[in-house]
Amino acid sequence: MDKAVTGASLRDFVTALGDLVLPRHCFVCGRPLTLAERHLCLSCRSDLPYTHFWERTHNPMADRYNAAIREQVPHGVEEPYGRAAALFFYNSESGYKNIPQALKYRSALSLGREFADQLGARLAASEDFADVDCVIPVPLHWRRHWGRGYNQAAVIAERVAAALGSECCRTGLRRLRYTLSQTRVGMEKKASNVSDAFRVLRRVEARHILLIDDTFTTGSTLAACHKALREVYPPSVRISVATLSYVGD
């Protein structure tokens, strides 16, 4: 018998057995998954609301990011228009918010890696991102990292860096302050909550840095990271951002 067929059959058998003991469910709608489905049911997978921001230099996320970074650039300093892209949209009623939340709070690393691979493939094919030579995840404070056991942004950054063929610099930035969970602070307080929260820990040789986070909402966290990087890197070094999800209006 063909070895590949035997291997696939064995894998299906093990999955089917696992489904009997502990049924797998779609992360988005909660329906039980069939043997052929992984993480998402076929219906939710085909309806995934892609942003296509990687195809448009000027998009709502990039406008929001650039507005946030311009608020903190010293007067008279020329800051190039930063590129920004997310894989998919969600709003508060959307089941797709479960994808970043499961990665962040339920250790769904395999789910996160699958969508990070999708994001990486699109960025690698985009003129705006293909020349990225350094990927830096938004860091967690060591206390939160210790409590969670992993940094969800680093899980995404590693896969995106692999897709882009660039270095993943996990120690590019350090989080200085233990800030309140962003979901527990109001929007106005959010910017002041993270401003000055980051410092460059290790300077790397790079011409195009890509900052990675799980979700983009106001852009204040990524703008604070941008500010810390700009204190070390000149404007000739481009600083772009990418996330799994983008919270639409």
List binders of Zn ion among 9-28 (CB under 5 A).
26, 28
CA angle 206, 211, 215 (to 5 degrees): 170
Nearer to Zn ion among residue 96 and residue 129 (C-beta)? 96
List binders of Zn ion among 179-218 (CB under 5 A).
none
- Nearest distance, CB of residue 102 and Zn ion, angstroms: 13
Is 99 a binding residue for Zn ion by CB under 5 A? The answer is no
Work out which of 19, 24, 25, 29 binds Zn ion, going by CB under 5 A.
Answer: 29
- Nearest distance, CB of residue 46 and Zn ion, angstroms: 10
d(CA 247, CA 221): 14
What 3-state class would DSSP assign to 229? helix
Q: Site size for Zn ion, by CB under 5 A? A: 5
Region of 158 (left: φ > 0; alpha: ψ -120 to 50; beta: rest) is alpha
Nearer to Zn ion among residue 87 and residue 154 (C-beta)? 87
Nearer to Zn ion among residue 15 and residue 217 (C-beta)? 15
Phi, psi of 169 (to 5 degrees): -105, 90
- Nearest distance, CB of residue 98 and Zn ion, angstroms: 10
- Site stretch for Zn ion (CB under 5 A), options 34-42, 83-91, 122-130, 150-158: 34-42
d(CA 222, CA 25): 32
243 within 8 A of 212, measured Cβ to Cβ: yes
Nearer to Zn ion among residue 38 and residue 145 (C-beta)? 38
Is 33 a binding residue for Zn ion by CB under 5 A? The answer is no
- Nearest distance, CB of residue 49 and Zn ion, angstroms: 13
CA distances from 30 to 33, 46, 48, 49, 220 (A): 9, 15, 15, 18, 32
Q: Which residues contact 103 (CB under 8 A, 6 or more apart)?
A: 109, 111, 112, 152, 155, 156, 214, 244
Nearer to Zn ion among residue 45 and residue 207 (C-beta)? 45
d(CA 157, CA 177): 22
Kindly give the interhelix angle for 220-230 and 187-194, rounded to the nearest 10 degrees. 20
Is 44 a binding residue for Zn ion by CB under 5 A? The answer is yes
- Nearest distance, CB of residue 69 and Zn ion, angstroms: 36
Work out which of 33, 41, 62, 200 binds Zn ion, going by CB under 5 A.
Answer: 41
Is 87 a binding residue for Zn ion by CB under 5 A? The answer is no
Contact residues toward Zn ion (CB under 5 A) are 26, 28-29, 41, 44
